Homo-oligomer: A and B are copies of this chain.
């Protein structure tokens, strides 16, 4: 079995989640390639050294270009804020490195297009590129897609998708990078709205073709964070210094899908009490499916073909060995956690690289999400219906 030498940029939340995946994936799946955690890059020398030790990387560097320049790195894993994705990814692809890039693919459509072009060029050389919409790999979500693809819901009519969090509800929460447009691109829209857009297109197999919506910033000024402000829960520098919030707190829109379904979407980080409330429901002519990330091992399925007095949503515990990705895990009824979306992503990427096939979602898929994000912002600006 060959070894795939990974170089990763970033060691915050996503860096930890990806490290866990690289550390675990070959312990639970039989794969044609073994991941080696070779090199981690981060700007702060002490921090990246500590992260390398704690997370289990062989080496560390403060310059992400080392990942590109060194011959002994086969794949670059990008876990930084969106403003650096395009530069790193394009450099890595040009250097013949496989790339896994966190979502959203980029901060602008222009950047995303450049990345797709880079991926297309690299692909001709057998180099693979993948965008990290890990929620596709929650077994219940993958299973949802499978049931829909099999036609179990019939013609699709409705999607309702929300991603509700509440971690910036407090106006005193500091102005971290995710609240700054130059770093994050957008707010709830790109951070969590991107997930429900991708998930909708993934599970339905349909594209969002047009939409109309609004965005809102409820708290327009926040305390400046002390330190580098990278963390989700960074401390503030003191009440005296505030800065403007330059992204949306919430984004809401209605949409049409290519196969005729209609949909509502809402992404917000101000839904008090909802901690990680990604919920999606799809209604078809013959049945319905509903998922909630706060109960990620469950899937609700309404099979409209059963006898009339016995109809109901049933709570499937998606922990059977025959469920997607579950062959690797514990006996029936033993739950898995959030982190294994990343493990499954690593599995699929290693499988693709090992067998010389293209992983999904591709950069083009991710550009598709970016176009929808862009359309939401245009509609919110103009008040008009916008074609994607």
Contact = CB atoms under 8 A, between A and B. Distances in A.
A340 to B, nearest CB: 7
A13 B330 contact: yes
A91 interface: no
Interface in A260-301: 260, 262-264, 266, 268, 270-277, 283-288, 294-297, 301
A366 to B, nearest CB: 22
Q: Is the interface of A mostly helix, strand, loop or mixed?
A: mixed
Interface string A294-337: 11110001111000111111111101111100000011111111
B384 A143 contact: no
Ranked nearest first, the 8 interchain pairs of A and B with the lowest CB-CB distance are A275-B333, A276-B333, A314-B314, A383-B385, A273-B302, A337-B337, A312-B314, A312-B316
Interface of A: 13, 17, 19-20, 23-24, 26-27, 54-56, 143, 153, 157-158, 160, 162, 164-167, 169, 212-214, 216, 218, 232-233, 250, 252-254, 256, 260, 262-264, 266, 268, 270-277, 283-288, 294-297, 301-304, 308-317, 319-323, 330-340, 379, 383-385
Contact of A335 (B157, B303, B338, B383): B338
A283 B384 CA distance: 27
Contacts of A250: 157-158, 262
Which of A263, A266, A323, A385 has most chain B Cβ within 10 Å?
A385
Contacts of A218: 157, 260
A284 B166 CA distance: 10
A301 B294 contact: no
B331 A273 contact: no
Contacts of A212: 212-214, 254, 379, 383, 385
A181 to B, nearest CB: 20
B264 A266 contact: yes
Contacts of A336: 337-339
A315 B298 CA distance: 14
A175 B233 CA distance: 52
A272 B286 contact: yes
Given A304-B272, A332-B276, A262 B338 contact: no
Which of A213, A286, A287 has most chain B Cβ within 10 Å?
A213
A341 B285 CA distance: 32
A310 B152 CA distance: 12
Contact of A385 (B266, B288, B338, B384): B384
A157 B262 contact: no
Contact of A304 (B56, B264, B273): B273
A207 to B, nearest CB: 17
Contacts of A314: 302, 310-315
Contact of A320 (B23, B157, B309): B309
Contacts of A294: 297, 317, 333, 335
A47 B297 CA distance: 31
A283 B272 contact: yes
19 contacts: A23-B24, A157-B218, A212-B213, A212-B254, A218-B260, A233-B331, A253-B254, A272-B288, A273-B302, A274-B288, A275-B319, A276-B319, A294-B317, A302-B314, A308-B322, A315-B315, A334-B338, A383-B384, A384-B384
Nearest to A382: B385
A340 B379 CA distance: 43
A289 to B, nearest CB: 9
Given A332-B167, A335-B338, A315 B313 contact: yes
A24 B27 CA distance: 12
Given A212-B383, A385-B384, A273 B288 contact: yes
